[in-house]
Structure 1
């Protein structure tokens, strides 16, 4: 579903890049939201994934 959101936004990523983005996103959600008992909506997850993409592309 998230990959479809990227495609709908015109963002093209390879399967490898997508897996890395989702790993960064999952780690971020675990560290910054789950530990504090916060729920993450699909829109919030997509926002975090877009930030993760920027991090991946700047490395």
Structure 2
């Protein structure tokens, strides 16, 4: 996913990013009955990466 976009992350970072992304989608979309496209998921994952890096 990130590799195709030229973004390098470790396996551990990817695991953490996907957990943050999953939590975000669950809390902010599924509970409100919204569907998430693949593009929206990737956008959320990129934001999650920024959060992970800044922590």
TM over 0.5, yes or no? yes
In the superposition, the TM-score normalised over structure 1's length comes to 0.91
Note the residue ranges of structure 1 that are not aligned, 5 or more in a row: none
CA RMSD of aligned residues (A): 0.5
Note the residue ranges of structure 2 that are not aligned, 5 or more in a row: none
How many residue pairs end up in the alignment?
A: 55
Q: Runs of 4+ in structure 1 displaced over 3 angstroms?
A: none
Q: Helix, strand or coil for the counterpart of 2:7?
A: coil
In the superposition, the TM-score normalised over structure 2's length comes to 0.97
